[in-house]
């Protein structure tokens, strides 16, 4: 296994916290959950870690990827006596490697430049285990390097969105190439950091699907299909949330010139029914963008300038999770047809 050609540098932890809080908006609930320290009393203290990765969406080959693994809470003042480790589990070889180790009080700044498909896998920020009485929260992040022409496609087929309320059922499908040999749908669970086959997969002809029910709130799971020969679709990021507000957006990047409709959905806690009739505020990159009364808004003929992180707000229930809308330049050749969209029935 070849180690990634990457350079690690020290990075001032205080600057990192300030910088990344302003660059990457996360839902506050998501943050609280991640910061939680195991409450069982066998530890004399705890260190809360956090990992940020930039760019945070759609990393492409040759991008410069910056990984930060740092401590942001320390209840025992032990962060200058133990190390944090950045561990990489390769998607290709499944082997683990400690990429860098550094005093927890300083933190790790690690750069992949240029990033390649070889770098794909799970990046874990954890303690070095040298102080067993200190609980160190582990953080996992999957770095997926997008393929500009993947051999197969993946999308949500049951809904027009990739954000789901807790315990909602949804189906993801892959459209496979002709030579369908032993494709499987895989899922990365960002909470525990594991990769497993999506259970109960259904294959028919050149189509593979898997129906899941979101179990853990605040999870950002990645789904993809892969063949025995190592071919893969791109990854689909699915967010499940305990808030009752979700944003309906295109789940895959859209072509320049398309009209893109955003819809804010609110799920009644009692009836579990979704409604869209309320005064909605839409945000782009944390700035107020539109206010509507119908909960839906269309971005006409989108350009690269419309690309960004969107979210919406229900008057009482608050904010949906964020969702990236990517805009691709239209190729000169004929546009790809999206078989998945045409062959599926969709429900709210």
Nearer to ligand NAG, 95 or 113 (CB): 113
d(CA 276, CA 194): 35
Closest separation between CB of residue 249 and ligand NAG, Å? 11
Nearer to ligand NAG, 77 or 182 (CB): 77
Nearer to ligand NAG, 79 or 180 (CB): 79
Nearer to ligand NAG, 203 or 344 (CB): 344
> Which two structure tokens, joined as six digits, stand for 147?
């393929």
Nearer to ligand NAG, 7 or 181 (CB): 7
Q: Scanning the structure block, which residue is given the tokens 């945070």? A: 56
Mode of pairing for the β-strands spanning 184-189 and 220-226 = antiparallel
Closest separation between CB of residue 180 and ligand NAG, Å? 26
Q: How many helices (H) and strands (E) does the chain have?
A: 3, 31
Closest separation between CB of residue 153 and ligand NAG, Å? 16
Closest-CA residue to 64 (of 51, 74, 55) = 55
> Which two structure tokens, joined as six digits, stand for 246?
């979700």
Return all residues near 318 (Cβ < 8 A) that are at least 6 apart. 243, 245
List residues near ligand NAG by CB under 6 A.
38, 40, 42, 56-57, 60-62, 76-77, 142, 144, 160, 220, 222, 237, 239, 257-259, 268, 270-271, 300, 321-322, 346-348
d(CA 157, CA 344): 6
Nearer to ligand NAG, 10 or 192 (CB): 192
d(CA 289, CA 338): 29
For residue 55, whether the previous peptide bond is cis, meaning omega lies within 30 degrees of 0, is yes
Nearer to ligand NAG, 203 or 242 (CB): 242
Closest-CA residue to 126 (of 67, 191, 71) = 71
d(CA 198, CA 174): 12
Closest separation between CB of residue 87 and ligand NAG, Å? 17
Closest separation between CB of residue 74 and ligand NAG, Å? 8
Closest separation between CB of residue 95 and ligand NAG, Å? 21
Closest separation between CB of residue 208 and ligand NAG, Å? 21
Q: Scanning the structure block, which residue is given the tokens 């239209």? A: 330
């Amino acid at each position: 296994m070849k180690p990634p050609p990457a350079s690690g540098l020290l990075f001032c932890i205080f600057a990192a916290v300030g910088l990344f809080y302003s660059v990457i908006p996360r839902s506050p609930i998501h943050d609280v959950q991640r910061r939680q320290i195991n409450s069982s009393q066998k530890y004399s203290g705890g260190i809360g870690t956090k990992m940020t990765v930039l760019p945070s969406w759609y990393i492409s080959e040759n991008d410069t990827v910056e990984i930060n693994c740092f401590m942001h809470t320390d209840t025992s003042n032990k962060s200058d006596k133990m190390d944090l480790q950045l561990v990489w589990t390769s998607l290709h070889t499944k082997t683990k490697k400690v990429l860098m180790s550094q005093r927890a009080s300083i933190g790790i700044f690690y750069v992949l430049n240029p990033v390649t498909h070889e770098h794909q896998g799970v990046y874990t920020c954890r303690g070095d285990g040298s102080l067993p009485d200190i609980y160190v929260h582990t953080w996992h992040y999957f770095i997926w390097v997008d393929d500009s022409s993947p051999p197969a496609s993946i999308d949500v087929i049951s809904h027009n969105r990739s954000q789901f309320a807790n315990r909602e059922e949804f189906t993801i499908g892959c459209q496979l190439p002709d030579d369908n040999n032993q494709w499987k749908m895989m899922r990365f669970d960002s909470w525990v950091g594991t990769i497993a086959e999506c259970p109960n997969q259904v294959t028919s002809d050149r189509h593979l699907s898997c129906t899941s029910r979101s179990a853990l709130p605040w999870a950002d799971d990645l789904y993809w299909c892969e063949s025995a020969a190592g071919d893969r679709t791109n990854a689909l990021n699915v967010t499940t949330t305990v808030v009752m507000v979700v944003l309906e957006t295109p789940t895959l990047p859209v072509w320049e010139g398309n009209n893109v409709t955003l819809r804010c959905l609110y799920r009644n806690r009692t009836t579990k029914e979704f409604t869209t009739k309320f005064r909605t505020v839409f945000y782009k990159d944390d700035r107020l963008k539109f206010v509507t009364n119908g909960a839906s808004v269309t971005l006409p003929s989108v350009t690269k300038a419309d690309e960004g992180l969107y979210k919406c707000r229900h008057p009482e229930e608050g904010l949906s999770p964020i969702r990236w809308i990517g805009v691709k330049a239209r190729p000169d050749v004929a546009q790809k047809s999206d078989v998945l969209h045409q062959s599926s029935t969709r429900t709210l």
